[in-house]
Chains A and B, each alone.
Chain A
Amino acid sequence: EVQLLESGGDLLQPGGSLRLSCAASGFPFSDFAMTWVRQAPGKGLEWVSLITRSGGGPYYADSVKGRFTISRDNSKNTLYLQMNSLKPEDTALYYCAKGKGMLVENYCFDYWGPGTLVTVSS
């Protein structure tokens, strides 16, 4: 059974830094792209970042480019998101999800974790 479990969410002040983790199990982690998607309270889904199975790309939404860094440790079956220079508008539930597809341009996300909450407020 595929399982994804995010951790690392916290309450912090603007300008702060945080690293999220996503522990994966139940599938060959190194064979699949992984992504982060966030959802602000009461709002829709916003794609954040994606990393290919070999660490390629990575790809970022314009809203986080230059501030967030996605990485993975295939030996630990873990996905990471390093978040720097955090802003109040980064407040959201952050989901990690497993990529599905043959071409990067056609990826969808077939399994999701329950999410971890990041709150940025002074």
Chain B
Amino acid sequence: QSVLTQPPSVSGAPGQRVTISCTGSASTIGAGHDVHWYRQLPGVAPKLIIYGSTNRPSGVPDRFSGSKSDTSASLAITGLQAEDEADYYCQSYDSGLRGYVFGTGTKVTVL
């Protein structure tokens, strides 16, 4: 079961900035566990785009940035491009469940 809540969808025009929220709890993000973000294009495996809440793997454009505060985290995409249309998921660890949890997922649409 998902214990990380994301908005089902966000949209923006090319060049704009969009943000995706990821709301957790005291046993997930609020416990100090890192938040990670994945992008999934249709029919393709997810790809890690932010790890450790704020870090970008090699090859991920600096248009993508992450932040974390209290029991929530956010992914920001600046300079939105058509290729950014995808599903985005946050992920963390749940101390109560003793396991990993993914967010509910957000579909980004470029208008």
Contacts and interface: CB of A to CB of B under 8 A. Distances in A.
Interface of A: 35, 37, 44-47, 50, 59-63, 95, 100-101, 104-115
A45 B99 contact: no
Interface residues on B, range: 20 to 34
A110 B48 contact: yes
Contacts, number: 75
Given A35-B100, A44-B2, A47-B101, A109 B48 contact: yes
Contacts of A44: 2, 87, 89, 102-105
Contacts of A113: 45
A59 B99 CA distance: 6
A108 B38 CA distance: 10
Interface centre among A50, A104, A105 (most CB of B within 10 A): A105
Contact of B48 (A59, A60, A108, A115): A108
Nearest to B44: A114
B36 A45 contact: no
Contacts of B48: 100, 108-111
Given A35-B100, A44-B104, A47-B100, A106 B33 contact: yes
Interface in B1-24: 1-2
A114 B45 CA distance: 6
Interface in B51-98: 51-52, 57, 87, 89, 91, 93, 95, 97-98
B30 interface: no
